[in-house]
Structure 1
Amino acid sequence: MKEVITLFKEQIKNIGIIFRISKYEDMASYQSHYLGLVWEYLYPLIQIGIYWVVFGVGLKHGASMNGVSYLPWMVIGITPWFFMNRSVLDASKSIYQRVGMVSKMKFPVSILPTIKIVGNLSSFWTMLVFSIIIGLLNHVTPTIYWFQWIYYFFCMIMLLLALGIFSSAVSILIRDFHILLQSLMRMLFYLSGVLFNFETDAFPAIFARILQINPFFYVVSGFRQSMVGNVWFWQRPTLTIVFWMIVLFFLLVGSHLHYKFRSRFVDLI
């Protein structure tokens, strides 16, 4: 637990550096593209359009989900997923990509995964505003449950921080881990309730309960419960406890691996 506390202290102490570097990386990533940072927002919108045509119009024939049109239901779920998916993959290779910085100067290595997470926030906020607009255009009215977004946003950041510190360390120790993680995230896209409602669709009850253990499902369904549902997070005590136990597990294991091998990262790479 001491290593987890040290991890959070480093994040708070270097919060200024995190935001400055993440802003610089955003600008540097697209400086050679004609549209520049527009691609940060254009690519997710294109993906949403494809999924809506294939699943909303094609497979579901425009059917509603819990009394809500499929488009806003899908968009509010796919918004946190896009952010989590990209942040997890970027964070997993954050230390390996910055080996030059790590080897040449005294640098708080633990903030590298956080930089990747913060760097993806700009597109997340844009997508969230877009999902709200889509909801309002489809007769989704604001309710008191919308305040739950604050809680589920905190859950999402904590999950990403835990997975980021864990996967970035394991990617150094096991070079094939990042490739495996990419395949796992592709699979989790379909198993996290982003496109299908496991709680009401024709899924066996046991199968649905197993899928609900997935922490990504907890965040995705939580954002939906906030916007189009009427369930508070404390009304799902089992899922909430399981989620935070998973987050704590990855925080403990990830921070332990990070601080145990940090002095050898350059040699291992």
Structure 2
Amino acid sequence: MKDIGVLIKEQLGNLGIMFRISKYQDMSDYQSHYLGLVWEYLYPLIQIGIYWLVFGIGLKKGTSTGVDYLTWMVIGITPWFYMNSVTNQASKSIYQQVGMVSKMKFPVSVLPTIKLISNLSSFWTMLAFSIVIAYFRGGLMPTIYWLQWFYYFFAMIMWLVAFGIFNSTITVLIRDYRIFLQSVMRVLFYMSGVLFNFETNAFPAPFARILQLNPFFYVISGFRDSMFSQYWFWQRPILTIVFWLMVLFFLLVGSHLHYKFRARFVDLI
């Protein structure tokens, strides 16, 4: 628990640095492009457009909740794109910044969190566009259930911080882990409820219950529950407890390994 306290202190104490580095990284990534930072907003719109064409026009489906399939899908795919991008980028954040780690005194634990911040602009763009689609296609209107969106956003951030510090440390210790993680994330795309509703009679109940233990599924279904006014998060106590236990587990293990091996990161890389 001491390691978690140090980790949280470093995160909160370096918020200004993280936002500035995130801003400069975004600018450097797109400085040679004609449209520059416009791509930060254009890319997620292109992604949503592709899925609109494939699933909204190419496939005419619905969900068991009676919600238009495209509306249901884009609300869920928005947090998935964000979590997938942050997870993959955070996993190699320490490995890629070996120069910064070796040449200056720097709180290395904030490197995964910087990736979390730098992807927020794309997340907000996709979320806004998804809500617009939901309004015009399904007549989505704000309800009191939307308030729990803040809870699920906080839960998503905490999961990414915990998973990020774990993955970034393991990637330094085990070089093949990053490739393994990318493969796992590809599988989780289909097993996190992004494209298919596992809470229907079409899937065996034991299979569905196992998939619901996936933290990515918890966040994705939570965003949908908030937007489509189905459940409050406390109405799923078992899934909520399991989710936060997994966050605590990765936070404990990740922070412990990070501070145990941090002095050797340069040698290991």
TM range (shorter): over 0.9
- Determine the structure 1 residue equivalent to 2:111: 112
What residue ranges of structure 1 are gaps of 5+ in the alignment?
A: none
Shift of 1:108: 0.4
Distance 1:91 1:226 in 2: 27
Tell me the equivalent position of 1:203: 203
1:97-176 equivalent positions in 2, closer than 5 A: 97-138=96-137, 139-176=139-176
Alpha-carbon distance, 1:56 to partner: 4.2
| Within-5 A mapping of 1:51-130 | 51-59=51-59, 61-64=60-63, 66-130=65-129
Letter in 2 for 1:91: A
Distance 1:9 1:166 in 2: 17
**Whole-angstrom CA distance in 1 between matches of 2:263 and 2:57:** 53
Aligned to 2:189: 189
Instruction: Give the superposition deviation at 1:49.
Output: 2.9
For residue 55 of structure 1, report the CA deviation from its aligned partner: 3.7
**Cα distance, 1:77 vs. partner?**
0.5
* Further displaced range: 193-202 or 144-153: 193-202
Per the TM alignment, residue 65 of structure 1 is displaced from its structure 2 partner at its CA by 5.0
Contact 1:56 1:63 in 2 (8 A): no
CA deviation map 1:92-128 (0-9, x unaligned): 0000111000000000000000001001011111111
What TM-score do you get using the length of structure 1 for normalisation?
A: 0.96
CA distance in structure 1 between the aligned counterparts of 2:259 and 2:150, rounded to whole angstroms: 31
Contact 2:45 2:125 in 1 (8 A): no
Which one-letter code corresponds to 2:121 in the other structure?
S
Cα deviation for residue 67 of structure 1 reads: 1.7
TM-score, normalised relative to structure 2? 0.96
Letter in 1 for 2:107: P
Task: Give, in whole Å, the separation in 2 of the partners of 1:11 and 1:207.
Answer: 38
Contact 2:63 2:197 in 1 (8 A): no
Per-residue CA distance 1:20-53 (angstroms, 9 max, x = gap): 0001111111111122222223333333333343
Aligned 8 A contact 1:30 1:37 in 2: yes
Segments of 5+ residues of structure 2 without an aligned counterpart are: none
Aligned-pair identity in percent equals 73
Amino acid at match of 2:134: G
> What's 2:257 paired with?
257
How many residue pairs get aligned? The number is 268
